[in-house]
A = this chain, B = another copy of it.
Amino acid sequence: MSKRPTIIDVAKAAGVSKSTVSLVLQNSSSVKEETRALVHQAIKDTRYVYNRAAANLRGAGAGLVGLIINDLRNPYYTELAVSVQMKLAERGFATSIGNSDEDPALQEQLIASMIEHGVSALMIAPAYGGDVAPFKDIQQAGIPTIQVLRSTGFDTASFPLFSMDYDAGGILATEHLLENWGNNVAFVGGIETHDITIERKSGYLRKMGEAGLDPVSFHGKANRRFGYETALKITRDRPDIKGIVTFNDLVALGMLAGFAQAGVKVGSDIGIVGFDDIEEASQCFPQLSSVRCDVKTFGQQTADVLLNWVEENKQPKAQVRYPVDLVVRASSSKT
């Protein structure tokens, strides 16, 4: 009741030395099956709980992985965080999480905190505009770290970048709209200078260029509100635009609301394709066509890669891009 039992208590109860208990705890193969059973019974009897702080101090891994996300409220990143956390748990690791809220200063603080806590590895969807200093600290601490879903133009040799083939996604969306909704196709959403916007827009720009068409874009925060406002603006100022590729589904969903408000029928008056294919895309009205970025599978596999790096010292490739595809639904199917 009073004190947490230690391996010494377990050792006494099992009638072995504490080293043996430690070995059993680590699933070492050099312990007789019989002894192992004895120890496990003693663990139950004493209600022993492993003390990771002590183990960690002595050099064992902390069994904790840090996950830092630029915007955890965005369902795309929520899904990433959940799939990563659940995969880590499956492999026996706890997850320390932090939302940097797109703020490099907060991100720096989170990184420092996680280093202090001795995380075994780090996965970061970075905020833009940060300093390199915290990354230097990570490097010095020797913590395996993967950047995900957003490039910051950062050293990918030390910090591999795992992302999606956004460029291909932009091509698919643009081709589809050009074929079905004529030449006036616009790109909506995303801060113009961010690398991820450049990536998600590149396919659109290329396709428009190849077709000899002038690209039109509306840049801004990648959220519902911006989509909503831009839908109203397009209705008012650019009724000639008939096809829209959005930076992400959130923007597209906001546009759905805006066009509904304005009385424009999406799917017959105008075609829209989102980006990410979050769950809601198939559950709104009209259902939203979207570039499917299967972030759940992405999260699981990337977590596996990171853990393999930790456990087997297998350093991943400097850059990996997962494929994407286009899911066509009512928002871009002429009725």
Contact = CB atoms under 8 A, between A and B. Distances in A.
Interface stretch (A13-21, A109-117, A171-179, A315-323): A109-117
A85 B63 contact: no
A274 B216 CA distance: 38
A272 interface: no
Interface stretch (A32-40, A161-169, A256-264): A256-264
A261 B285 contact: yes
A141 B82 contact: no
Interface string A255-279: 0111011000000000000000001
Contact of A283 (B96, B257, B285): B257
B285 A64 contact: no
A51 B47 contact: no
A263 B85 CA distance: 41
Contacts of A181: none
Number of copies of this protein chain within its complex: 2
Given A64-B117, A116-B49, A116-B52, A283 B228 contact: yes
Given A97-B85, A140-B47, A280-B224, A118 B285 contact: no
Nearest to A79: B73
A75 interface: yes
A125 to B, nearest CB: 14
A261 B141 CA distance: 55
A283 B73 CA distance: 15
B64 A89 contact: no
A234 B100 CA distance: 43
A78 interface: yes
Contact of A89 (B113, B117, B285, B286): B113
A99 interface: yes
A92 to B, nearest CB: 8
Interface stretch (A53-61, A144-152, A195-203): A53-61
Contacts of A225: 283
A332 interface: no
A228 B254 CA distance: 19
A interface majority secondary structure: helix
Nearest to A227: B283
A64 B96 contact: yes
B57 A85 contact: no
Nearest to A113: B94
A72 interface: yes
A116 B4 CA distance: 11
Given A53-B56, A95-B97, A283-B257, A63 B117 contact: yes
Candidate in A89, A110, A256 with the most chain B CB atoms within 10 angstroms: A89
A62 interface: yes
28 contacts: A4-B141, A47-B137, A49-B115, A50-B116, A51-B118, A53-B53, A53-B56, A53-B57, A53-B118, A72-B78, A72-B81, A73-B79, A73-B82, A81-B97, A82-B99, A86-B101, A89-B98, A89-B109, A94-B113, A224-B280, A224-B283, A225-B283, A228-B283, A257-B283, A257-B284, A257-B285, A258-B285, A260-B260
B86 A99 contact: yes
A95 to B, nearest CB: 6
A62 B72 contact: no
